[in-house]
Amino acid sequence: MTPHASTGSTTLLSAPGSLIIALVYTAAGSLVCASLAITLWTGVHQPGVALAFGALIAVGELARCKTVPSEREAAPLGAAGALAYALLGECGGGPTSHGVFQVTTVVFAAVLTGVVPHVARGRGPSLDHVVRRVLTVGFAAVCFQPLYNSGELPLWTDDSFYALFLLVLLLLTALCDAVLAALMLWARTGFPYLPLLREELRALLGIGSAVCATGAVIALAVAAAGLWALPVFCVPLLLTQLSFQRYERVRATYRQTIVSLARATEIAGYTPHGHARRVAELSCAVGREMGLTGQDLTVLEYAALMHDIGQLSLVDPVPNGATALLPVADQHRIALLGGAVARQTGVPAAVAVIVERQADPYRDQPLAARIVRTVNAYDDLTGAHRGGAGGALGVLERLRLATGEDHQLEVVESLARVLARGAPAPAQRG
């Protein structure tokens, strides 16, 4: 999983982050190697069942959403099929004989089969996706298969509680996946872990709940009716996936409209090329550093993109588009006009509020407005003092000196930490 908005650069992993990634990859690689070796040695049990579930997982990966943010489940059908196979104890009323190692082997082979065409077209998921899928399904299989195959599970769960047992186990598996996803994202980005975990847990209420429910239903249906139940009980999740893809396409189009509107100030010559994009990317990175997630980050991004739209009301452009260097009265006028324009575009009211309060005293501003204000000032000042003494470090020091009046100290320090991890310096723009 990756952040909602990246900083636009390749960030070097910290020493703890590198260690975490290495440990996670080592665990997944060890599990896969052991599973492949044992499965090749003992042979595939019930190959028809394994082939059916492997095909379902591969098809789910092939049909993965292309517009879903990468930190969300882009292949829900594949995930549901993998979980169902891990939790399968019977097929058509007869017991199954596959175990943890065969589950891991089938899931790993099916995921690779499904993602290879995407990788060949340059649109495939990262290796993190495969690692997470293997470890998450392995967790579910370890919790279920030995207990069921030993015959102990049916002794203390009758039919009325068996479905509940599966749902509880799926919930634990989903929590495991959320913890793992947040951990890997923290290791790669350095953003605070708890906000990342909260965002992952919040995502479970959406497509994650549909994946868990479908996984449980498929396992129960195949146990009673056999493999004929697979196509029947996959239809609801397929419809959900299609609806989710349509929703994401609408969101992508809406965002592109805002980006195009934000570029109007650049085309008209009021702001430097790429200014709105840089401020939006860096604002989102600072927002994540300060614990913002989900919808709050989306509002922050839209406001950062549109923060200079009020400059279109000026007769003469501000030199270099640097509103941070204008008198306060002019800043207020531009901010209020920008808020009025933003309201006419149909963006959420919170976006317009952030835009029109850019020139207010920072203590009276919402957190998102403080972030945009500071990041905008950083971009303006690094552009206006390109090549000057101190460069970006000198600008940061200037912002620190203004924390008593113009900027919040916590926002400035968060910006400094984001830049230290390798965010693009606005002074290095063409």
324-337 per-position pLDDT tens digit: 667 777 777 778 88
Share of the chain above pLDDT 90, in %: 16
> How much is the mean pLDDT over the chain?
80
Residue 429 belongs to a domain: no
What letter does residue 311 receive in the DSSP assignment? Answer: G
Split at pLDDT 50, 70, 90, the class of 282 is very high
pLDDT of residue 424: 46
Q: In this structure, are 267 and 246 located in the same domain? A: no
pLDDT at 355: 84
Q: Quick one: what percent of the chain has pLDDT higher than 70?
A: 85
Q: How confident is the model at residue 315 (pLDDT cuts 50, 70, 90)?
A: low
Alpha helices in 263-309 (DSSP H): 264-267, 275-289, 294-306
Residue 254 above 50 pLDDT? yes
Q: In this predicted model, what pLDDT tens digit does every residue of 77-131 receive, in sequence order? A: 888 899 999 998 888 888 888 889 999 999 999 999 988 887 777 776 778 888 9
Clarify whether residues 22 and 167 are in a common domain: yes
**What is the pLDDT at residue 134?**
93
Alpha-carbon distance 408 to 372, whole Å?
11
Residues 236, 352 share a domain = no
Domain residues for 55? 15-250
245 shares its domain with 267: no
**Greater pLDDT, 240 or 136:** 136
Which helix (H) or strand (E) segment is 91 a member of?
strand 90-91
Residues 271, 185, single domain; the answer is no
Residues 240 and 271 occupy one common structural domain: no
Query: Would you place residue 40 in the very low, low, confident or very high pLDDT band (cuts 50, 70, 90)?
Result: very high
> Within 10 A of 15 (CB to CB), how many other CB atoms are there?
7
Helix/strand/coil for 36: helix
Look up the pTM and report it.
0.74
- Do 214 and 277 lie in a common domain? no
Residue 285 lies in a domain: yes
Q: Is-contact 358 349, C-beta < 8 A?
A: no
Q: Which of 225, 250, 275 is the last residue of a domain?
A: 250
Q: Which residues contact 100 (CB under 8 A, 6 or more apart)?
A: 35, 138, 141, 142, 145, 146
CATH at residue 411 = 1.10.3210.10
pLDDT at 8 over 50: no
Of 53 and 4, more confident: 53
Residue 245 and residue 275 share a domain: no
Q: Would you say how long the chain is, in residues?
A: 430
Q: What is the model's pLDDT at position 136?
A: 93
Q: Is residue 389 scored above 50 in pLDDT?
A: no
Q: Tokens 């400035």 sit at which residue?
A: 412
Residue 95's H or E segment, with its range, is: strand 94-95
Between CA 229 and CA 124 the distance in angstroms is 30
